[in-house]
Amino acid sequence: MEKSIEVIAAKILSVVEKKRLSMRLVMEHYFRKNQDVEIIRGVVRAYLLGLLRKYRILDAFAENLLDIQVSTLGSFQRSLLRSILYESKFRDVKRRRLESLLKFARKNGLKITWQDVVLVKNTPIREVLRRYQGVERVAVEYSLPTWVVEYSFKLLGKRESFKLFKAFNKRQPTWIRVITNRTTREKLLKVLERRGFEAFPDKDFDDLIGIRRGEGLARIPEHKSGLFVIQEKASVLVGYVSGFREIFVDFTSSPGLKLSHISERTGYGIGFEIKHRRIPSMKNILERIGSRDIIDIVNTDSRVPPLRRGSSNILLDPDCSSLGRLGVSPEIRLWITPDYVSRHREEQRILLKSASGVLEKGRCLIYSTCTFTIEENEENINWAVEELGLEVVEVEPFIGVEGIGVPFAQRLYPHIHHTIGFFVAKLCKI
């Protein structure tokens, strides 16, 4: 049982939740140490994505039908319980397999019986949902933190929010950027097709390809030899709207995807990164796609940038509450709280101020985040206009919807653009 999909998923999930790490990172670590089960890596990932998109429904079953208070369990037990309930409720599993899983669970101190899983299997979801009211009910149904649902209702209205929540729980395309000085999009499309991927050219950007089922992409030879990089469409948009043609500094650069994209156009770029441990993997990516020679990386704190006021443009893509990633990285749902928004907003303003401080007249700053909160987006832009004297300028291409009260800023949403939720604006010192 130790090496079954359900138990591996529970082990990974428990580390993800306890340490608040990304699923991708924990999986990377797990499968490096357990190479004998590498073959089921893709299945475990799909299993975890499915489970996380249902985690509140699973918890509701445990609490209402089995009388198990999920929050009082240890983190491995909680993850194992979720894994077993997901298996019983949403997958067509064989009885023998489930029985061994239950035995394993009981050995690990989880009091769950065959009768319990049968009860969960046979009780319709609406029966359990009936015990919740209003916003809480929507939050359980879509497995989102209640405050996120409340926030979205206020910001976007109910109609739009429901579309957004549905999109968060649906598979979106995986986007890859073609390294155009190594191959063409057409050639890569053919190779991907030969390898069995359902790939399509993006309609907005001619170096972008969408893949309908992206599992295993990172393991094909074309990825290893740097013909493409897995990069969100929203992130690629930043490269286009920057319009940068000469030296620029990326203030918050790891893993370096936007930095490399823009540097391909400018011929040179500098990346600042505060976290020393993020730099080696960034160097590996840049090396792999052939951008290492045109990029300098500086391990520094951009709140006090080692720059004099100068003639470079700036990219600022700071850490954020990541609400736009609730679909692709559903693990965030386990720990995200409203104070992430306020804490990030403060940090973002400090970085906006330091960036503006070194920006010369006529130079511009691109500001982007992967969240849809107004505090981290339009409110920060309005603040930068009022307090720092920057001006929001029109950009090309404009593929998103207009920022809330900030005309030239653009927002992207999974239910409209099939990307992560995203915000980007260009601010210039006039």
Ligand X SMILES: C[S@@+](CC[C@H](N)C(=O)[O-])C[C@H]1O[C@@H](n2cnc3c(N)ncnc32)[C@H](O)[C@@H]1O
What residues line the site for ligand X (CB under 6 A)?
235, 252-258, 272-275, 278, 301-303, 317-319
Q: Which is nearer to ligand X, 108 or 342 (CB)?
A: 342
What is the spatial distance between Cα 5 and Cα 228, in angstroms, rounded to a whole number? 30
Q: Which is nearer to ligand X, 302 or 356 (CB)?
A: 302
Q: Which is nearer to ligand X, 210 or 256 (CB)?
A: 256
CB of 107 to ligand X, least distance (A): 40
Going by their DSSP bridges, the two strands 228-230 and 174-178 should be labelled as antiparallel
The number of CA neighbours under 13 Å toward the Cβ of 83 is 29
Q: Which is nearer to ligand X, 102 or 295 (CB)?
A: 295
CB of 65 to ligand X, least distance (A): 40
CB of 190 to ligand X, least distance (A): 28
Q: Would you state the structure tokens that stand for residue 11, as one six-digit string?
A: 């082990």
CB of 234 to ligand X, least distance (A): 10
CB of 294 to ligand X, least distance (A): 16
Q: Which is nearer to ligand X, 185 or 258 (CB)?
A: 258
CB of 83 to ligand X, least distance (A): 30
Beta carbons of 120 and 65 less than 8 angstroms apart: yes
Nearest to 204 by CA among 224, 185, 223: 185
What is the spatial distance between Cα 287 and Cα 265, in angstroms, rounded to a whole number? 17
Beta carbons of 262 and 244 less than 8 angstroms apart: yes
What is the spatial distance between Cα 302 and Cα 265, in angstroms, rounded to a whole number? 23
Q: Which is nearer to ligand X, 253 or 291 (CB)?
A: 253
**Residue closest to ligand X, measured at CB:** 252
Beta carbons of 229 and 256 less than 8 angstroms apart: no
Beta carbons of 326 and 333 less than 8 angstroms apart: yes
Nearest to 368 by CA among 430, 414, 322, 337: 322
Q: Which is nearer to ligand X, 7 or 384 (CB)?
A: 384
CB of 307 to ligand X, least distance (A): 12
CA 223 to chain CA centroid, nearest Å = 20
